[in-house]
Structure 1
Amino acid sequence: MYISRLRVNHKKNPLGFNLAKIHLSWEVKDVCGKWAVETRIIVSESSNMEKLVYDSGVQKNYHENQMLVSFDLKPRTRYYWQVEVKDDKGDCAKSNPAWFETGKLQESWTAKWIGTEENEKRMPLLYKEFELKEKPESVRWHVCGLGLYEAYVNEKKAGREFLMPGYHCYDSFLEYQTLDVTELLSQGKNKIAVLLGEGWYKGRFGFDGDYRNLYGNQKKCIGELHIRYANGQEECIVTDSSWKAEESSICENGIYDGEHIDETLEHKMLSVEEIEETRPLVERFNPRIHKVEEFQPVSVKQEDEALLLDFGETVTGWVEITGAFETGQKVMMQYGEVLQKGRFYRDNLRTAKAEFTYVSKGKGETIRPHFTYYGFRYVKIKGLNPEKEYKFIAYRIMSDIERTGWVATDHDKVNHLLENTLRSQKCNFLDIPTDCPQRDERMGWTGDAGIFASTACFHMDSGSFFNHYMKNMQAEQEKCNGAIPFFVPRPKVKKEEHTNPFYLDSGAAVWGDAATLIPWRLYQFYGDKAMLEEQYPVMKAWVDYEYERTKENEIPYLWQNDRQLGDWLALDNGNINNPIGKTDSGFIASVYHYWSTKMVKEASESLGLEESKVYAEREKEIRNAILNYYFPDKKFCLEYTQTACALLLYLKLYPEGEREVITAKLAELLKKNNGHLNTGFVGTPILCMALSENGQNQLAYDLLLNEDYPGWLHEVNLGATTVWERWNSLEEDGSISGTGMNSLNHYAYGSIAEWIYRYMCGLNPSIGEAVKMTIYPMPDQRFKKAEGSWRSVFGKYVCAWNWKSEQEVVCNIEVPFNANARFILPDGTEEILDCGKYEKILNMRP
């Protein structure tokens, strides 16, 4: 027996993160038994585990691999924790100690916010020089910089993170980071420095306008360097007016336009001033942003007087060049995600320049940007000396979350599609779930995040990532009286005559329903009741907001009285340029109101809240209102669309006897459309699931396997390495279909991966319930085999199948230690499986 994968609030050894609640989890492997008969957790202030501050005691028959612990935390303290488990065969194991370390908690700040005279053309470097009497035993730097910052100790970058402090609701709270810089300091003279950039905080950000200074008009930083010596003595160096500052080599920079660096410029000294700031500093919620992968170009060719690099797949991050540069040599890089007629192209980035320029002072070095990132596959580079050699490396930059899901089939194009959905997630999970990583947008659209949440949780451990997003959603919701804006965080664009209403409006169905979809998905995948409890107020406030809006509608409980976006980017309205689909928007809003209310009811029941009865009753009333209004005389009164049918079937919203009618109608609509979907953001994520759940599994596979337009494999055939925003982002000849709203890296339609995990591979998590997983694979003979695995908090669930004969499928299943699964056969027979490996025969006779 071996205990591993120890996590605190879904993070490995977190340093200075928010610890309002302490959720511990672990994984047990290489076991003989099936269940834990004894579990014990201890927490200590010493690494030898002798100075205990918490002891759970021996928990008998504790069939969970996670526990919420509580004790009084001290500021700036490292705690070690350990898990001990005994199984039902008598085997025992004790984990190696893991740790978590607190930030300042409620300790007051003695440091001051400091800055210099504001200049958007030259970025400031603020620094402090000091001497240490001896080598410290431990040094922690609690620091925050706005807009963005990098921290340096003795000219070396502190930590492996980038784009700190990330993007959050700066107008509500300011997240600070805690850096372990012990190894960077030495006895004698030392220097610490903070380099500041524009970022989301005050640089140009937001589509459809030149919006700047959205959260503040001055760059600034605050920091406390806490030093502890071996003899127990401590000292603290803080930011204040005694710091010095100078102009750095970094000039203009921004999220959209890129960065300009000129090393030949003189570094003029700047005056430092203390700045008043009332927004609270809080320990960080966001996972670290760091380099996760690196790529070398798969091809390098000449284009005009430049080099054109192809990195083989779409990347979010930047390219670093290593080489010897001459004094005054100017290198310019431009980023794009597609070629047109074999040449570099970036018009679909709209106003985003996506450039990096560097002027050298003549030395061998590695050049990179500091305060921007790019979404790209291709990079065009001007200004390199053809007589010299250079090394090019592209780095993927994203939030620090680990992969948890894998699917492999014998269909290469489907495997490619799955990798595309994962890659789009990686490219867009950079601190917040962005819609796209390349053009002048890159915003946390709520609708996209909500419909992709399940796929995200299959692919990667998204618990801490989405928890950070939900913290920001709650902050925005409080400003909107319970409503949810279209994007989180919402840029604070001032209301003017021509301001795009997306910045001002809130409370639209589907987009707002991310407030319920995301928390409930997180609970299904992770079973973290503490997280659900924290996020439940957001769920409740949103559903109550919807309910209040329906009171102004002519028909009680139905939400037909507000402007909605409907089935966004559907293809069924006869006008490819109209983004709102044919399905009635009031119907969609009413159905989502029902769905969200249902999730709040289930969440409140899981939390043991008395108010669950209120939401159970409201759920019934909304359901009755939908059936009475939309099914007069038990017949659907609106025009059937693929999306309408999918919603009704997926949520079982139909009168008795109408399921077969709606299923047949959906099959008819698909046939009329030559076997193709025409759904948008609402219908696409649930279309295949509605088919498989209602006896039309073959049609679901048909949609997956369509290789012409519109379809997922059509994109694969056209060379996509990520998922597109539109079904027709590229024409058949590879030409871009339009530049107004056309991203080649939008994860929303990648939600087909959820169907692949759930129905092809049969994995349906319910970690918060007594039965942790339902396994119900639905094979199709066009696939000889498929294998899906998902690493839960207990360990890896596996379901792999292959055809033994025309009517029999061999299914191999793995259930991890301390967990279970409900296995369902094609005839509906159910069996509860405990930890172990199983081989089952599926009889696929019609």
Structure 2
Amino acid sequence: MPDWSAVLVSPNADFDGAPLLRTELRLDTGHGAVRRAVLRATAHGVLEAFLGGEPVDDSVLSPGWTSYEWRLRYVERDVTALLGRAAGPDLAAPVVLGVALGNGWFRGRLGWAGGRAYYGDELGALVQLDVTFDDGHTQTVGTDESWTAGPSATTANDLYDGQTIDARRQDDAWLRPGHVDPAWTGVHRGELDLATLEPYVGPPVRRVLEVAPQRIWTSPAGRTLVDFGQNLVGWLKVRVQGPAGSTVTLRHAEVLEHDELGTRPLRSAAATDRLVLSGGADEFEPTLTFHGFRYAEVEGWPGELTADALTAVVVSSDLRPTGEFACSDALVTQLHRNAVWGTRGNFLDVPTDCPQRDERLGWTGDIAAFAPSAAYLFDVDDFLRDWLRDLAAEQRAADGMVAWVVPDVLKYLVGDDVGASPFGTPDSTAIWSDASVWVPWALWQAYGDRRVLEDQYDSMAAHVRRVETLLSPTGLWEHSFQFGDWLDPTAPPEDAALAKADPSVVATASLFRSADLVARTAELLGHDDQAHFRALAERTRAAFVEHYVDAEGRIASDAVTVYALAIAFGLLDAGQQERAGERLVELVRAGGHHIQTGFAGTPFVTDALTATGHLDDAYALLLQRECPSWLYPVTIGATTVWERWDSMLPDGTINPGEMTSFNHYALGAVVDWLHRTVAGLAPLEPGYARVLVAPQPGGGLTWARTALESRHGRTAVAWSLEEGGELQVDVTLPEGVTGVVRLPGQPDREVGSGEHHVRSSPAAAVL
């Protein structure tokens, strides 16, 4: 841990929740040139740091959102060049070190109850600059009570509600030496346990893309609307000139309803930025908030609004794209693209459920369902390992219980008059709490780095041990609240937990999977409790079969999801597996190949169909265009994955439920199957050092391709059905990677690094 001599300081006045803090320094003389200068900074709130008038880096919303009670991250940047420019060639010029603060997650609104400041009611900054000179001398400058604080141009800021910026107050003089302003005041020492400070494990949030307007028009109600053509997360950068004191108002939403901005799904989130003009040429960028939107409504614009005046700035944790997919069906390709955008938008420091309404929480069930897909689309290893540290910290403080959201702000809502959980007092819950096991395992499979299992083993084991205490005498997990197959399409809009699948069946199956994975992890790591978890898994399997599987192979509640989980998790013997597969396909066909699963079943249903010999039905499910289906949203213009299968109804109206988002990734978990089965690339060993190339064409597709940038390099698979029905497969393996090519009707073929072209006969190709 670094040696911190700086202290957390808070401004003596609040300054509208967006104060500026500054100090001036001069470099020590007589020690030669600056060899290295390092700045470390963190905040209660969010910060932007400046040295010599320049931003220290290009990150935004730092230090993000962690479980502040136990973890507060700090950024660390090499600022040698910045300091050199500011101090001048002789190192004699005064240098300003400054910080701009905002409410962020620490003091802003969180959750749907309207509460705020759950972590503290004062903003504060901790900043330390360590300068090392050529002779080894070190000079340290940090936040202390000599700093001063003053107002910024921001008069209001909140992640849910937006930011107000008054350009008449914009003045960069505070970043220049000699600044004096009577409006400025002092600071005082705040409270901070230095033991909670940690460096980032994952990447910071950055501006990753810019998107230009695609259309500007006037709505039937006379409002000016802008379409950016893509549901995204970020803010608008605006260039405008108009009368001093006039206000331009920007409202954001994901969809239109009745040709007007569809704001009802935002619930209480205002998602509105207000820009007060200076009278000159102004440029605004509200970096202390973010919005989930495709459309903006612009009010108060001086003159005609043109496309060159607005740019949508996309912000996200800075994740490297790794996985590619395309196929001959344009809608399926767009579905994959929608999952990419949904991941980009919701992986904003925390893997959130949605980025737009009064929620934006790190729901554990969503990432439990989606982690394998996420790990293919982007390099999420460090990002999710960082989040898992918060999960473990919250879990240790809750007697082994894995919270429904991480960081767990719900623990502050439960019991409030207006904020009590609608689901009762939280406890361990299948799939949601299983994220403690399923997410590390997905990262291990994707990246082959044992550290995630080593770091998270205690958390993984603690979850399963806690659930073990909740079981009934029959060995079933059946007497506590469960989300179950959340958002099964038959569930009513007002109660997403009323699924067809029995929640106890879902829970017991999930326990088996978690116990099995923890036993395998314990064996891999050489832990003595491997036998305990293996025995628990086998007891759970036996209890599941005894109480939930009848003599004809029917599983209790007889829903698509219960068969999908039993097959995919390996709960059944060979005979039971075959009968379960037959019943599964009967239900899928009886449903007209429409989706009948929610959060629990959706990640596994196509795999279960494939594993039991019903590939054609898996494709029919994938390619269904009518609601509910994966492609229905695509057919009506969706550019991200929705929370509900029918978030927008076929008549163009928004689902009447109080919980409707147009940017949720969980139900897009099918993209993992697209990569592994449709395109045909899967790991044979964790981390893709050895791969399986086994495309399974179907559904009338004539070609598909995928590629993955693994730790070993770029692996690619492309197949096409040639004239006459011959299947041609092109495989590219990087140096050091070996694979098995498995094509219909042919024996497995071992291949090494390089390019390979393989064909199968027309009779063997699956059409």
Global fold match (TM > 0.5) = yes
The 10-residue stretch of structure 1 (641-650 or 503-512) with the greater mean CA deviation from structure 2: 503-512
> Which of 36, 48, 71 is equivalent to 1:138?
36
> Which of 335, 341, 346 is equivalent to 1:423?
341
Give structure 2 stretches of 5+ with no counterpart. 88-92, 170-180
Indicate conservation of the 8 Å contact 2:343/2:374, yes or no: yes
Aligned match of 1:544: 465
Mapped pair 1:752 → 2:656: no
The 10-residue stretch of structure 1 (458-467 or 135-144) with the greater mean CA deviation from structure 2: 135-144
Aligned match of 2:283: 366
Q: Which has the higher helix share?
A: 2
Aligned match of 1:263: 167
2-side partners of 1:496 and 1:351: how far apart?
Answer: 18
2-side partners of 1:485 and 1:380: how far apart?
Answer: 37
- How far the C-alpha of 1:465 sits from its partner, in A, is 0.8
Aligned match of 2:738: 820
Indicate conservation of the 8 Å contact 1:263/1:361, yes or no: yes
2-side partners of 1:402 and 1:503: how far apart?
Answer: 39
- How far the C-alpha of 1:456 sits from its partner, in A, is 0.3
Aligned match of 2:67: 169
Pairing of 1:408-807 with structure 2 (within 5 A) = 408-491=326-409, 492-494=411-413, 495-497=415-417, 499-501=420-422, 504-550=425-471, 553-556=472-475, 558-572=476-490, 577-633=495-551, 635-636=553-554, 638-738=556-656, 740-768=658-686, 772-780=690-698, 782-805=700-723, 807=725
* Matched position secondary structure for 2:289: coil
2-side partners of 1:758 and 1:392: how far apart?
Answer: 40
1-side partners of 2:484 and 2:454: how far apart?
Answer: 30
* Matched position secondary structure for 1:638: coil
Pairing of 1:76-155 with structure 2 (within 5 A) = 105=1, 107-117=2-12, 119=14, 121-132=16-27, 136-155=34-53
> Which of 81, 85, 96 is equivalent to 1:191?
96
* Matched position secondary structure for 1:327: coil
The 1:286–1:363 alpha-carbon spacing in structure 2 relative to 1, beyond 3 Å, is: farther
1-side partners of 2:266 and 2:26: how far apart?
Answer: 49
Aligned match of 2:152: 248
Mapped pair 1:292 → 2:190: no
Indicate conservation of the 8 Å contact 2:622/2:629, yes or no: yes
Q: How many residues align?
A: 737
Indicate conservation of the 8 Å contact 2:489/2:628, yes or no: no
Indicate conservation of the 8 Å contact 1:159/1:180, yes or no: no
Aligned match of 2:236: 319
Mapped pair 1:227 → 2:134: no
Mapped pair 1:341 → 2:250: no
For 2:693, the aligned partner's letter is: I
For 2:613, the aligned partner's letter is: G
- How far the C-alpha of 1:403 sits from its partner, in A, is 0.7
* Matched position secondary structure for 1:328: coil
The 10-residue stretch of structure 1 (112-121 or 446-455) with the greater mean CA deviation from structure 2: 112-121
For residues 342-394 of structure 1, what are the alpha-carbon distances to aligned partners after superposition, in whole Å with 9 as ceiling and x for unaligned? 22221210000001112133332320112110001111122222168752111
Aligned match of 1:44: none
2-side partners of 1:637 and 1:812: how far apart?
Answer: 42
2-side partners of 1:655 and 1:416: how far apart?
Answer: 38
The 1:620–1:831 alpha-carbon spacing in structure 2 relative to 1, beyond 3 Å, is: farther
The 1:575–1:377 alpha-carbon spacing in structure 2 relative to 1, beyond 3 Å, is: closer
The 1:575–1:277 alpha-carbon spacing in structure 2 relative to 1, beyond 3 Å, is: closer
* Matched position secondary structure for 1:264: helix
> Which of 296, 299, 308 is equivalent to 1:379?
296
> Which of 108, 111, 129 is equivalent to 1:203?
108
- How far the C-alpha of 1:800 sits from its partner, in A, is 1.2
The 1:574–1:530 alpha-carbon spacing in structure 2 relative to 1, beyond 3 Å, is: closer
Aligned match of 1:353: 270
1-side partners of 2:152 and 2:77: how far apart?
Answer: 22
- How far the C-alpha of 1:411 sits from its partner, in A, is 1.3
Indicate conservation of the 8 Å contact 1:529/1:768, yes or no: no
1-side partners of 2:237 and 2:424: how far apart?
Answer: 35
For residues 204-261 of structure 1, what are the alpha-carbon distances to aligned partners after superposition, in whole Å with 9 as ceiling and x for unaligned? 1111x12111111111111111123344433111111111111222122111001112
Indicate conservation of the 8 Å contact 1:627/1:655, yes or no: no
Aligned match of 1:237: 141
2-side partners of 1:260 and 1:584: how far apart?
Answer: 48
Indicate conservation of the 8 Å contact 2:251/2:273, yes or no: yes
Aligned match of 1:392: 310
The 1:575–1:806 alpha-carbon spacing in structure 2 relative to 1, beyond 3 Å, is: farther
1-side partners of 2:109 and 2:81: how far apart?
Answer: 37
- How far the C-alpha of 1:272 sits from its partner, in A, is 1.0
The 1:741–1:628 alpha-carbon spacing in structure 2 relative to 1, beyond 3 Å, is: same
* Matched position secondary structure for 2:752: strand
Indicate conservation of the 8 Å contact 2:147/2:186, yes or no: no
Identity, in percent, stands at 30
- How far the C-alpha of 1:561 sits from its partner, in A, is 1.8
Aligned match of 2:245: 328
1-side partners of 2:136 and 2:239: how far apart?
Answer: 43
* Matched position secondary structure for 1:272: strand
Give structure 1 stretches of 5+ with no counterpart. 1-104
The 1:167–1:580 alpha-carbon spacing in structure 2 relative to 1, beyond 3 Å, is: same
1-side partners of 2:688 and 2:192: how far apart?
Answer: 48
2-side partners of 1:597 and 1:436: how far apart?
Answer: 30
Indicate conservation of the 8 Å contact 1:197/1:371, yes or no: yes
1-side partners of 2:733 and 2:594: how far apart?
Answer: 37
- How far the C-alpha of 1:122 sits from its partner, in A, is 4.3
* Matched position secondary structure for 1:684: coil
1-side partners of 2:428 and 2:125: how far apart?
Answer: 35
2-side partners of 1:503 and 1:282: how far apart?
Answer: 33
Aligned match of 1:32: none
- RMSD of aligned Cα (Å): 2.2
- How far the C-alpha of 1:160 sits from its partner, in A, is 0.3
For 1:784, the aligned partner's letter is: T
For 1:116, the aligned partner's letter is: P
Indicate conservation of the 8 Å contact 2:691/2:739, yes or no: yes
Aligned match of 1:277: 192
- How far the C-alpha of 1:121 sits from its partner, in A, is 2.9
2-side partners of 1:387 and 1:479: how far apart?
Answer: 56
- How far the C-alpha of 1:535 sits from its partner, in A, is 1.5
1-side partners of 2:289 and 2:492: how far apart?
Answer: 40
2-side partners of 1:502 and 1:108: how far apart?
Answer: 44
The 1:705–1:516 alpha-carbon spacing in structure 2 relative to 1, beyond 3 Å, is: same
